[in-house]
Structure 1
């Protein structure tokens, strides 16, 4: 991440992905094969767009997936699955961009520890840049 705004965008993305996943998971439990309505799909696609901008190639869940097609509404379970994959990759990206510095976890900004507090890493296996 290069700026404080990048960190803020990442934190917002994490919250949005988790919120959408939680809500759509409830729909998927009741009706997994029902199509997600266009209203909800627009919000899902907006969040995925930000996810694709935030995640570099190595973190994107799939090279050939960017968002859902509104013309052929995806099922609740399809959306839940993709959101879960994005959550995993965003967390791996976040974990790769926090370090323990000055007795606390902070984000790396332009490769150096910043004063922006973060949570401890939870995902293992990523590549720190």
Structure 2
């Protein structure tokens, strides 16, 4: 990562993805084949667009996926599946940008340990020294 703002954007993205996943997966359990309404789809697409901008360098889940089409409403289960992939890749990106020092994990900015505390990495490659 290159800046504190990028770390903040990643933390925001992860929180939004997890919130959307929680809400939409409940809809998918009740009605997996129902289409997501346009209001929710607009929010989902905004978060996905932010994810596409942030998850560069091989971290985007699907190179050929940009956004859901508003004219062809995706099903609840389709949205849940895509959001799950974005959660996985966001966490891989986060884990790859976390370093261990002084008995704690910190975000790495431009390859150096920052003063921004981080959660323990959960994906392989998260502990760079």
Q: Which TM-score bucket, shorter chain as reference? A: over 0.9
Give runs of aligned pairs for residues 83-122 of structure 1, distance below 5 A: 83-122=83-122
Q: 1:3: which partner in 2?
A: 3
RMSD of aligned C-alpha atoms? 1.2
Task: Report the TM-score when normalising by structure 2.
Answer: 0.95
Q: How much has 1:123 moved relative to structure 2?
A: 1.0
Provide the TM-score with structure 1 as the length reference: 0.95
User: What SS is found at the alignment partner of 1:100?
Assistant: strand
Alpha-carbon distance change, 109 to 125 in structure 1, aligned in 2, over 3 angstroms: closer
Given that 2:94 and 2:121 are in contact with CA atoms closer than 8 Å, whether structure 1 keeps it comes out as yes
Aligned to 2:44: 44
**Residues 57 and 63, structure 1, Cα contact 8 Å, conserved in 2:** no
Distance (whole Å) between structure 2 residues aligned to residue 101 and residue 56 of structure 1: 26
Q: Secondary structure at the match of 1:120?
A: coil
Unmatched tracts of structure 2, length 5 or more: none
Deviation, structure 1 residue 125: 5.2
Contact 2:95 2:125 in 1 (8 A): no
Please give the alpha-carbon distance, in whole angstroms, between the structure 2 residues aligned to 1:116 and 1:71.
42
Deviation of 1:104 after TM superposition, in Å, equals 0.9
Q: Contact 1:17–1:86 (CA<8 Å) still a contact in 2?
A: yes
Going from structure 1 to structure 2, the CA distance change for 1:73 and 1:13 (only over 3 Å counts) comes to same
Runs of 4+ aligned structure 1 residues displaced above 3 Å come to none
> Would you say how many aligned residue pairs link Structure 1 and Structure 2?
127
